[in-house]
């Protein structure tokens, strides 16, 4: 099997893997899926991810189809490098292989400018035309023409607040703080039409390539607020050369006044996702972000 054959016959990939006709090398694939580098007969490689064998839950319906749809949608404007979807099957996703490299200031500058162009490509509504996932969690992508503050509060914050509260990942103190943010969500400003966003853009989902470019991977793509992507880039230690990324972004599409003060509001989405998935380890981060948002 070579790359041309795989593109033409993606459904044949599991058969070749079953009969060990493709060289497989385990690689890092994040916290959810099993990831491998598949080396084909022509020397080309693809990145393949599958649901882990023996997982407590089966692969959710449309899980890999959703990621494939998001990757293709982000790739359409040609603004930021996004791996080509080579095969999208119910139990497997195969993508163009990106050779890892170093995060350089020049790559960061190109990424910031490209991200602004991607966001500016826009979306017809908040949400998307495909089911939503963030990590392995379902996410409501029902397209909406509601104003951003109400949509964000009800579709991106409230569901994970409820789940985190029900599981005990958040105490009554953090729940009350986030509820206060929800109650005043319309006061934060920065309301804009839907942008074309990655949606899960913590630093680990930027792949710095050997080609000197930064690639977008593992999206939860949808129409959202562009400040959400930028706020997420600052989480968990922050992306390399973050200020270079932001400066290049501003040159292409300047952000609305007060955007830095709104960063914790946008970060609450992924932080609540983390308390839903991983429990109380992220409780303090949720509390700190909510307090920062309420101080604006």
Q: Which of 31-45, 139-153, 174-188 has the lowest mean pLDDT?
A: 31-45
What the block records as the tokens of 77 is 């404007």
Fold assignment, 105-294: Aminoglycoside 3'-phosphotransferase; Chain: A, domain 2 (3.90.1200)
Q: With beta carbons less than 8 A apart as the criterion, state whether 265 and 286 touch.
A: no
pLDDT category of residue 56 using cuts at 50, 70 and 90: confident
Which parts of the chain are beta strand (E)? Answer: 23-27, 34-39, 45-50, 85-89, 92-96, 132-134, 137-139, 195-197, 206-208, 214-216, 222-224
Instruction: Given CATH 3.30.200.20, say whether it is the number of domain 3-96.
Output: yes
**Where are the domains positioned within the chain?**
3-96, 105-294
- Segment 204-211 shows an average pLDDT of 97
Q: With beta carbons less than 8 A apart as the criterion, state whether 198 and 74 touch.
A: yes
Q: With beta carbons less than 8 A apart as the criterion, state whether 245 and 234 touch.
A: no
Task: Using a pLDDT cut of 70, give the percent of the chain over it.
Answer: 99
Q: How many Cα atoms are found within 13 Å in the side-chain-facing hemisphere of 290?
A: 25
DSSP 100: B
- Segment 180-185 shows an average pLDDT of 98
Q: How many Cα atoms are found within 13 Å in the side-chain-facing hemisphere of 5?
A: 10
> Does the pLDDT value for residue 172 go beyond 80?
yes
pLDDT digits (tens, 9 = 90+) for 150-167: 999 999 999 999 999 999
What is the Cα–Cα distance from 106 to 103, expressed in whole angstroms?
8
Helix, strand, coil % over all residues of the chain, rounded to 5: 45, 15, 35
pLDDT digits (tens, 9 = 90+) for 228-277: 999 999 999 999 999 999 999 999 999 999 999 999 999 999 999 999 99
- Segment 97-117 shows an average pLDDT of 98
* Residue corresponding to tokens 């293709």: 72
The pLDDT assigned to 31 comes to: 73
The pLDDT assigned to 21 comes to: 78
């Amino acid at each position: 099997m070579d790359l041309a054959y795989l593109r033409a016959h993606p459904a044949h990939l599991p058969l070749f893997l079953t009969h060990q006709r493709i060289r497989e090398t385990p690689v890092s694939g994040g916290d959810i899926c099993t990831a491998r580098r598949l080396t084909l007969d022509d020397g080309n490689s693809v990145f393949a991810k599958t649901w882990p064998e023996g997982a407590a839950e089966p692969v959710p319906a449309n899980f890999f189809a959703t990621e494939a749809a998001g990757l293709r949608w982000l790739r359409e404007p040609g603004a930021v490098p996004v791996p080509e979807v080579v095969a999208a099957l119910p139990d497997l996703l195969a993508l163009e292989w990106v050779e890892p490299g170093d995060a350089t200031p020049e790559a960061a500058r190109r990424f910031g400018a490209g991200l602004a162009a991607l966001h500016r490509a826009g979306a017809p509504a908040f949400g998307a035309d495909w089911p939503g996932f963030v990590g392995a969690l379902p996410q409501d992508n029902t397209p909406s023409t509601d104003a951003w503050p109400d949509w964000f509060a009800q579709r991106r914050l409230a569901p994970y607040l409820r789940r985190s509260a029900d599981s005990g990942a958040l105490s009554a103190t953090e729940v009350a703080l986030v509820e206060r943010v929800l109650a005043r969500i319309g006061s934060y400003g920065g309301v804009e039409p839907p942008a074309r966003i990655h949606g899960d853009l913590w630093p680990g989902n930027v792949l710095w390539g050997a080609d000197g470019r930064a690639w977008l991977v593992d999206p939860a793509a949808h129409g959202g607020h562009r400040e959400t992507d930028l706020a997420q880039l600052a989480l968990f230690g922050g992306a390399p050369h973050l200020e270079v990324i932001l400066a290049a972004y501003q040159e292409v599409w300047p952000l609305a006044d007060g955007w830095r003060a709104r960063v914790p509001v946008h970060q609450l989405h992924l932080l609540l996702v983390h308390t839903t998935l991983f429990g109380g380890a992220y409780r303090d981060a949720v509390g700190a972000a909510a307090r920062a948002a309420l101080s604006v």
